[in-house]
Amino acid sequence: MVSEKAYSVEARLNALIAAQPARVWRVTQQANFTSTSQVAISWEGGQGGDSTGIPVLSGGVYCVKGMLIAAMGTPNQNQFARFTGPTISSMGIGFQCIEGTTVYSSGQATGINQDMTINMVAATSGEFKFEGIVAFSAAGTFSMAGRLSATTAWAVQGGSYLELSQVA
């Protein structure tokens, strides 16, 4: 007689085998964001997707992590990054904008197309780091976008990346 625990272990192993592999997209250079309207970040080097982002499954739960290397123009003004994609059932992605050892902005993204503030000293580059969990209630493409708050342009530089790993 096979125990319920054995069935449970087998079911979990089957779920892990069926899960999508971790996917990483990178940026070599992104032109300046020059509009208060949302502009998609263009990715490359991804497996199983294209420059628009990473495909996700309806009902899938993913660990999201990555970093945008942001170059700020002058004068200093808040800039914004956003996660874009299909409908979610829950999302909690923490973020920090760091230059050197100083954290200029931080928070938690809880929804698609929510502005996350990038604020640092004018005419410098900093790291916008993020990590968390998102559960999708629809299939589609997960990605990021940027926009201005007013007039100061900013750019996403080479070395930036977005990684998704399906966890359920």
pLDDT at site 41: 80
The type of residue at 156 is V
Q: Give the predicted TM-score (pTM) of the model.
A: 0.80
Confidence of residue 17 (pLDDT cuts 50, 70, 90): very low
Q: Which domains does the chain have, with CATH numbers?
A: 4-166 (2.60.120.40)
- CA–CA separation, 89 vs 59, rounded Å? 8
pLDDT at site 21: 60
Of 20-24, 102-106, 157-161, the one with minimum mean pLDDT is 20-24
CA-based torsion, 86, 21, 63, 78: positive or negative: negative
Condensed to tens digits (0 to 9), the pLDDT of residues 34-89 reads 778 888 887 776 554 456 788 899 999 999 999 998 888 887 777 889 999 999 99
